[in-house]
Structure formats: structure tokens, C-alpha cells
Amino acid sequence: MITLKDVAERIHGDLIGNGLVVISGISGIKEAKEGDITFIIDNSFKKYLKECKASAIILGKDINPDEFKEHNIITTKNPVLAYAKVAEIFHSSSLKEKGISPSAFVSETSQISDDAVIYPYAYIGKESTIGEGAVIYPFVHIGDGVTIGKETVIYPHAVIYDKVIIGKNVIIHSGTVLGSDGFGYIWDGEKHVKIPQIGVVEIEDNVEIGANVTIDRASLGKTLIKKGTKIDNLVQIAHNVTIGENSIIVSQVGIAGSSTIGDNVVLAGQVGVRDHVTIGNNVKAAGGTGITKSVPENSLISGNPHMPHKEWLRFQGHLKNLPKLNKRIKRIEKKLQMEGDND
């Protein structure tokens, strides 16, 4: 049983109202029912209060709590962050028992923690290690010599090739492939000759990788995703790429081989990064940016090829005026031609 007081302590918020109210779930303000806790990000959500049936509401510090006297409330500096923490409380796992399903294939040479869960039809190859509390869902393929840390969750149909290293508290969603060959060939005069890709992929702690992501193994050395980085669905990361800590890589980003991405970088949707470039810490690239050369840290960039965001905005302003400019030039040319004919 979780009380409102328990929730307030978990999110370090200030409680106003009955702390003994039992909270059984979390929901949006329009869908909330008795027993739920909901949240209000800003004043625009107050219009839903009259019909709100939630037992408690989380408010931002900039919202006047006096307007919510009829409700139990918790005030906090960041209601969205508070929501994430409360949602984690009520994120109930469907796991009922631990251990290895008889329908899974696990090599006798692999080491599986007694607290791990291996669902039916998972495949685990030779000499792999799966840590305490890890969850391997059905139809996951784990190759030989793979290391998977504590509390890591791998969802159905993910493929982990040989010798991939995955840290603690990592989430890997369905359809993702880690450790596929990097795209490396050499032309011998008649055909493309494949360059063996004999490096590894390493995923550090607290990384989340979305669905249908591909992260290629290094040709030599490692492809490295550092701790805390979050990768959206449908991202391609090529061989020997390094992505720093706590970066955000949004859907449909493509990063070419041997590029280095710094810490706290944000690459918005459909950003393309060419090979062998370095992107500094705290860089933010707008959607569709084409990064063709190295980017200094703390930059905000846009466009293709990329440029400072303010410069790109000016460029867009000029681009919008091109039709008018074209008409003006034609008028001037016509006038000059008429004057020349008169001479």
C-alpha cells in the first residue's frame, strides 16, 4: 500500500492535504479516477480541474496552490520529473517467477544469475554471462561471449551478436541489433573485398536503446555508447563510433564510422553525421542537420551542410525572398534592355 505521504517523500515534494490517502495508480488529469495521482505542468491544465476525480495532484512550484484547496496536492520544482519518479513506483512488472524457461536454449558454458529471467524461446550462446535481475524476453538471440549486466532488460526479437558488452540497467527494445558487421570494403580493381570486422560493441550503464536500432561492431577496437545516453527508434550507428555520456540521439539519425560524439549532445531527428568527425560536448543539432565536419562544443547548429543556427535562420529568411528577388531582377533586366534599344 502506497500513501500520498510515501509519494511526497519519494519525489521530495511538499505535501498539502491528507498524507494517508492511498494512491493506487497514476494517470492523466482527464482520465484520472479515485485512487490515482495526476499532475499539472502549467496553468493551461486548470480547466480540467472541475471534473478531475484524482485523489491527489502534483503541481509545479510556480502554480498557486490556493486554487487547489479542494484537492490533496504535492508541490515540486519539476512536475514532469516528479511524474517520471511516480510512474516508476507504479510501473508493475509482469514477472511472476525467476529462472530459465525450459523452452529457452542456454549453453551449458554460460553463466546465468539465479535472479535473472530467461523467457521461452530465447537463445543464449556459449560462454555468455547474464547478471542479477536481468530479463531476456522471448525470441532474443544472444551470441557467444556476451556480457549482460544487472537489471538489464532485452525485449523480444533483439539480436546481440558475439562478444557484445552490455552494462547495468540497460534497456534494449524489440528489433534492435547490436554487433552486426561494420560496413567495410576495399576495391581490389575488380570487386569489393570485405574487410573483417573483428572489434566489439560496448554499451555502458543506464543506456536505453529504442526499437529497430543498429549499432555496428568496430573493425578494430570498440564501438562505444557511454553511460546515461538515450537512443530513439530507427537509429543507425556505424563501426568505431563513440557516443559520450547522457546524450540524446533521436529517431532516424545516421552516424557514419569513426565519428566521436561528446557528452550531453542532442542530435534531433534525421540528423546525418559523416565519418571521422568530432562533435563537442553540449552540441545541439536541429532536425535534418547534415554534419559534414567537426563541431566545437556548446554549438547550436542547423542546415545541410551545417552552420550556426542563427546563420541558418538568416539564410532561410533570404531563401523565402528569392521569388520576389527573381521578379525584381527580371524587371530591371527588361528595363535595361528597353533603354539599350532606345539608344
Nine-digit cell string for 23 = 494512491
Q: Find out whether 45 and 39 touch, Cβ atoms under 8 Å.
A: no
Please indicate whether residue 239 is annotated as part of the active site: yes
Looking at 12, 91, 173, 239, which residue is catalytic?
Answer: 239
Q: Find out whether 159 and 177 touch, Cβ atoms under 8 Å.
A: yes
Residues that are catalytic: 239
